[in-house]
Amino acid sequence: MTLKPILQGLTFAVASTVLSTAAIAEDPIKVGVLHSLSGTMAISETTLKDTVLMMVEQQNEAGGLLGRPLEAVVVDPASNWPLFAEKARELLTQEEVDVIFGSWTSVSRKSVLPVLEELNGLMFYPVQYEGEESSRNVFYTGAAPNQQAIPAVDYLRNELGVERWVLAGTDYVYPRTTNKILEAYLMDLGVAEEDIMINYTPFSHSDWQSIVSDIKTFGSAGKKTAVVSTINGDANVPFYKELGNQGVSSGDIPVIAFSVGEEELSGFDTSPLVGHLAAWNYFQSVDADANYDFIDMWHAYIGDEDRVTNDPMEATYIGFKMWVQAVELAGTTDVDAVEQAMIGQTVANLTGGTAVMNKNHHLSKPVLIGEIQDDGQFEIVWQTAGVVPGDAWSDFLPGSRMLLADWAPPLKCGNYNTETGTCSGTVY
Amino acid sequence: MKQALLMLGCWLALWSTQTMAETETTPSYEDLLIELTEANLNTTQPILEQIEATEHPDVLVLFKTLLDGNLNFRKADQALISIIDINGTDQYTEFSTGTAIDPLGRRDVTKIRVNNNLRNYLTSAIGRLQLTSPNPELRKAAVLSLLDNLQPSTAAELTRLRTEEDNRSVLASIDLALAMYSAESGDSTAAKITAIDKLSESLEPSARNLLFSLERDAEDPAVQDAATEALKKIDGKVTFYGYVDQLFFGLSLGSVLLLAAIGLAITFGVMGVINMAHGEMLMLGAYTTYVVQLLMPGYINYSIWVAIPAAFIVAGLFGILIERCVIRFLHGRPLETLLATFGISLILQQLVRTVFSPLNRRVAAPDWMSGSLEINPVLSLTYNRLTILIFALIVFVALLLIMKKTALGLYVRAVSQNRDMAKAMGIKTDRVDALTFGLGSGIAGIGGVALSQLTNVGPNLGQAYIIDSFMVVVFGGVGNLLGTLVAAFTLGIANKFLEPITGTVLASILVLVFIILFIQKRPKGLFPQRGRASE
Amino acid sequence: MTLWQTFLSRRNSLGSPVLPFVTILLGLTALAAVGNLWFPPESALHVSTYTITLLGKYLSFAMLALAVDIVWGYCGILSLGHGAFFALGGYAMGMYLMRQIGSRGVYGDPVLPDFMVFLDWDVLPWYWLGMDQFWFAMLMVLLVPGLLAFVFGWLAFHSRVTGVYLSIITQALTYALMLAFFRNEMGFGGNNGLTDFKDLLGFSLQADTTRVALLISTALILAGLFTLTHWVLKTRFGKVIEAIRDGEPRVRFLGYRTDRYKVALFVYSAMIAGIAGALYVPQVGIINPGEFAPLNSIEIVVWVAVGGRGTLYGAVIGALLVNYAKTRFTALMPDGWLFMLGALFVLVTLLLPKGLAGLYGQLSTSWKRDQTDQHPPNKEATS
């Protein structure tokens, strides 16, 4: 009689052990990582690969997902855009991954897109980009132009009284779009055409002497001038070095950048740049416990106290957390179910607020403006009162003003034309 | 102790003024410091203005600490703490007492933040506080920092200081400030016009900005006309200096190209090895600079002198290794060296990616290379560009001397012109080959040290310069060092003069097309090598 | 002498390596096609669509390697700019495919590709006209690279630019084109290039049948070009070309206008590269200025060197092998594959100067005899 409960307990224990072993022994859920580990983009993308691996490890320590362990599958698309498509196909058909975290440049995303749509894959794209896209198979966790550029310009106008604008960028689609949006926006605000200077440079441009000197000249016309920089990755270091050397101080001509974060700054001495600005949805210097926990986790994972965190890492973090929640909600990793479960997911972001996945597959996030400090970090000098929902289609471009993305039923369309009432492009 | 007494004295003085003016309730310096810790960015400036008004002796230090971003406060008791980075370790000091304290956790202290508006305010406040500094440089900087914000009170102060000033350059800047003040708010039109005339001699941007606004907004048409005249005069000078500037930019770009290409002029030009790993030799030089700086923290200013020979040795040894292990087996098959060295360049890139991570490394600039040599307010030559220009020329001359005046140089030339004959004369061609390749690689390593001051130090550094380097060497004439020099500067200057007309991308394309066409005209480059083995 | 060796080296007999090459190529392609279309995915004999697209890409690269081998292996012209001809052919095909999208683009414009709508262009630039016609686009695939090669070759060979100088200016050519195509004002989509293709001649590019058909066409065209090239090089023209490689001044002294021969061969090779590009684009789904990168062109040369220059099948084998190795290594060891690839290039150059195609001869003859015939009579550029 007294033995019975013990036996019952024992049976239960054995049964549950068997069950959990069975769960762990089950097929792992595969997470594809599609970030360049060699070539020009390795500088930026390797960190994101490590971030995904860290998140996978953490999730496995917490017991996996749906009782199954996660397994990361890493491939190297080597900064070669056609290779991105090939590797995406490999991940989806050979490795049969359930989700992909990957891409940095727009062209790599554009290259992967047809493959994702054909094979009905799911990808999380963690970098700020030009917008003008909303695919059923992609979730965009980086900033759209209205979550970076527009608030940044508002800040410069209202807080610093800027009246004259230099829009400087690398010649590719992200700067082109952002500058077009900004030009339209500034003109709407009554800025005269001669008060806007637009300049494009090739990738990896390294000799900035003339351009910086042009900017100085443009800025000495008696009106407060600012530079809005969409200069890409590795061209920034020589650009900022030249600014510092030619003595363009943030007090005279502030430069606000959308592609310069902690990681880019960690490559050089920032003391001549103190006070120049950047707009992001996250800075490492955010004073929030969630952020400190994340930084500690990152340092413990990477084993280097000096490594910085940045905005695309936060975007990867949010994307991963949301995917885990959506899979749990859907009870499966099936792409169609997860895609629907994703909409409306909320995750506590690292800046102390909440990120929401909208119907257009873009996030609502706060916008922060930071000033560069001499230790390579940013001091947050301004932030939006609440969160800003990401716009897939800009309101300031004539071609996309009337387009709408809404993946919830009944519309289920990434580019719904509100004027003609049709859904162009790929129809599901 | 002395400081404490002083503080006490001040505090007493403040306390007494406070009691005397009880009704006005002016907050004390100490209260203001507490308020400062509670302020946000928008409310900080009024508090700082009040702090400045207290004329407390610590204000200058306080403002400087704040401007440098070193001022924090302890969350527990709102006490101000300055955190200063000394050779990589943070030193925590209690601001009011000046006593060092134990480091605090990052969650226990909050930084007092400044933005650009506050920074501008602080700079001019520090300027005002330093107007009477004993150092004339500081006095001049103080006057110049006031130019954009001239108040009647500052004008009066400057007029008074003018009588006491004996330094010429400071006097000139005070005169400029006073002229600007009277051009804007002078008593009569005549006074304004005289002041504007004075301003037309100045190239100071603030003066120019003022003239622009006068031309646009002045009520008196005579003043407007005078401003237009003055601007015309200034613009003429500005255009001239603009060309000088462009020429300097061109020379500077040329010197970068020269440093990038000069190693290749040896390995490719003299030895005929199509050295695709040349870029990686530049990269090794840059990484050596980084490692040297890591090894001698706190001596950044001297590290460069260690880095130059170190980079030469590291890259040179790698070069000798490559020559001994690979290239010597490929004599007489120059096009195949392209393939082998391409493989080597992939390996070296991945090597630094594995050893140093794919991220860019931070290479600090020595103090003496930052800033610029100000010739006048619109023409200033940046020290780092100037240094690199001179450095490039020194390296070039040194290399030329090695090639022309030393035994090694003689052997190198002999082997490159006629290997068999040289061998017959008893030259150890194997050794000469290894040394030549080592020399070329080592020189490339030195070029890398210079590049580390200008651009990213990362695994892709070499890739960025390899094509330019080949263009320079081919354009100049393979095997001709002087040709490399002329080619580098020609291409640099052409690029910089085209850029304002066509834009950056088109300028590069045009230069490339020019090289292609030039090679059709003169297939052996600017200075073809003459000699028996040169076809 | 084994059967295999006889199979590959019957050069002087009538069949030459053409027949075995074509048989193997078409046979394998047919097997892959059947494996993909007939066998269900569960079957062990099934060939995945992924493999089909990979094979298609490899064969396009093989064709490109063939083009480089024709000028380098047979005429001693080391072009470091063949990627440019490849990319131009690819762009011509890409433009056709863009026009086929019609109003299915994201902005729904019936004529303008998405990137033009986005740049606020109202009319199609003149050089896009006619590209909606397949025949016209295919003509451009041949003409554009051909014309560029003609102009460039005419200038360069006429003024006797040789050796490394020629290599470097071909590199400058492709580099300049890369910079130009990166510019958005050029009207070729800038950095993003042309992508999001829907169909080709009315067949959906996402259908397995289209993919298999593309693979088969690539294989057929490769086989055809291989045969044609083999024949061309056997003619009197081909003999002169080889003579130029071995001693251009002598051929010139004999009264041949060597520059014209070289220009003709260069144009022929550039057209093959253009065709390869046109076949490559629909199979990988994107063309962008990255294809013009000088590094890509160097890689092509490496494929040829690995396979063995001066033998047409060697170039093809090299391209297939190196690209297969790249695919495997990037998946197996993403962090270290460049070490392997780099080491491969160094070792092949050092140990196999005639590439893999020469390996057999090298192994079967003694080391000493090998030494004497290892160096081909051509001493390319001496310096």
pLDDT digits (tens, 9 = 90+) for C166-217: 888 899 999 999 989 988 888 898 888 898 888 888 888 888 889 999 999 9
The residue ranking higher by pLDDT, B80 or B284, is: B284
Torsion of CA C25, C30, C32, C35, to 10 degrees: -160
Contact A76 C115 (CB under 8 A): no
Please check the confidence at residue A299 and state whether its pLDDT lies above 90.
yes
C350 chain-B contacts, CB cut-off 8 A: 326, 329-330, 340
**Mutation site for C-interface testing, chosen from B412, B484, B506, B519 by largest number of C Cβ within 10 Å:** B519
pLDDT of residue C272: 96
How far apart are the C-alpha atoms of B337 and A217, rounded to whole Å?
Answer: 48
* Cβ partners under 8 Å of residue C151, min gap 6: none
- Once rounded to an integer, what is the mean pLDDT over residues C268-277? 96
Q: How many CB atoms lie within 10 A of CB B469?
A: 28
- State chain B's mean pLDDT as an integer: 83
pLDDT of residue C365: 61
What does the pLDDT look like over B475-514, one tens digit per residue?
A: 888 778 899 999 999 999 999 899 888 888 888 889 999 9
How far apart are the C-alpha atoms of C285 and A87, rounded to whole Å?
Answer: 13
On the 0-12 / 13-18 / 19+ scale of CB atoms within 10 A, B27 is middle
A292 chain-B contacts, CB cut-off 8 A: 106-107
> Is A414 in contact with A426 (CB distance < 8 Å)?
yes
Of A81, A56, A60, residue with least CA distance to A69: A60
pLDDT of residue B181: 83
- Tell me the β-bridge partners of A230: A169
Sign (positive or negative) of CA dihedral C295, C299, C305, C309: negative
Which structure tokens are listed for B5? 């007494």
**Which CATH architecture group holds A21-143+292-365?**
3-Layer(aba) Sandwich (3.40)
Number of H helices and number of E strands within chain C?
15, 4
Please check the confidence at residue B462 and state whether its pLDDT lies above 80.
yes
- State chain A's mean pLDDT as an integer: 86
CA-based max dimension of chain A? 97
What does the pLDDT look like over C252-263, one tens digit per residue?
A: 999 999 999 999
CA distances from B217 to B212, B213, B252, C18 (A): 9, 6, 41, 85
pLDDT of residue C9: 47
**Mutation site for C-interface testing, chosen from B347, B522, B527 by largest number of C Cβ within 10 Å:** B347
The single-letter code of the amino acid at B507 is A
Please check the confidence at residue C81 and state whether its pLDDT lies above 50.
yes
pLDDT of residue B20: 46
* Cβ partners under 8 Å of residue A263, min gap 6: A44, A47, A308, A310, B359
Contact B456 A237 (CB under 8 A): yes
Q: Which helix (H) or strand (E) holds A30?
A: strand A29-34
On whether any CB of chain A is under 8 Å from the CB of C46, the answer is: no
The single-letter code of the amino acid at A154 is D
What pLDDT band is residue A100 in, cutting at 50, 70 and 90? very high
Backbone angles phi, psi at C263, to 5 degrees: -60, -45
> Is B366 in contact with B303 (CB distance < 8 Å)?
yes
Q: Which of A33-47, B30-44, B304-318 has the highest mean pLDDT?
A: B304-318
> Is C346 in contact with C260 (CB distance < 8 Å)?
no
Contact C104 A417 (CB under 8 A): no
**Mutation site for A-interface testing, chosen from B214, B455, B461, B465 by largest number of A Cβ within 10 Å:** B455
Instruction: Kindly identify which residue of chain C lies nearest to residue A394, measuring between CA atoms.
Output: C118
- State chain C's mean pLDDT as an integer: 85
- Once rounded to an integer, what is the mean pLDDT over residues B39-58? 82
Q: Which of B97-111, B430-444, C12-26 has the highest mean pLDDT?
A: B430-444
Q: What single-letter DSSP state applies at residue A65?
A: B
What does the pLDDT look like over B380-396, one tens digit per residue?
A: 888 888 999 999 999 99
The single-letter code of the amino acid at C139 is L
Lowest average pLDDT, out of B137-141, B265-269, B481-485, B511-515, goes to: B137-141
Instruction: Kindly identify which residue of chain B lies nearest to residue A244, measuring between CA atoms.
Output: B371
On whether any CB of chain B is under 8 Å from the CB of C257, the answer is: no
Contact B362 A292 (CB under 8 A): no
What ipTM goes with this model? 0.83
Torsion of CA B174, B175, B179, B182, to 10 degrees: 70
Q: What single-letter DSSP state applies at residue A140?
A: E
pLDDT of residue B18: 47
Chains interfacing with C (3 or more CB pairs < 8 Å): A, B
pTM: 0.84
Contact C197 A37 (CB under 8 A): no
Going from N- to C-terminal start, the domains of chain C cover 3-374
What pLDDT band is residue B440 in, cutting at 50, 70 and 90? very high
What does the pLDDT look like over C4-63, one tens digit per residue?
A: 444 444 444 444 678 888 888 899 988 888 888 888 877 778 888 888 989 999 999 999
What does the pLDDT look like over B269-307, one tens digit per residue?
A: 788 888 889 999 999 999 999 999 989 877 888 888 999
Tell me if the domain spanning A146-286+368-388 has CATH number 3.40.50.2300: yes
> Is A372 in contact with A273 (CB distance < 8 Å)?
yes
On whether any CB of chain B is under 8 Å from the CB of C351, the answer is: no
How far apart are the C-alpha atoms of C378 and A18, rounded to whole Å?
Answer: 73
How far apart are the C-alpha atoms of A199 and A219, rounded to whole Å?
Answer: 14
- Once rounded to an integer, what is the mean pLDDT over residues C223-230? 93
What does the pLDDT look like over A174-226, one tens digit per residue?
A: 888 899 899 999 999 999 999 999 988 888 888 888 899 889 888 877 788 99
Residues of chain A with CATH 3.40.50.2300: 21-143+292-365, 146-286+368-388
Among B338, B467, B523, the residue with its CB nearest the CB of C161 is: B523
pLDDT of residue C380: 41
- Once rounded to an integer, what is the mean pLDDT over residues B260-270? 86
pLDDT of residue B49: 85
On whether any CB of chain A is under 8 Å from the CB of C121, the answer is: no
CB pairs under 8 A between B and C: 146
Q: How many CB atoms lie within 10 A of CB C377?
A: 8
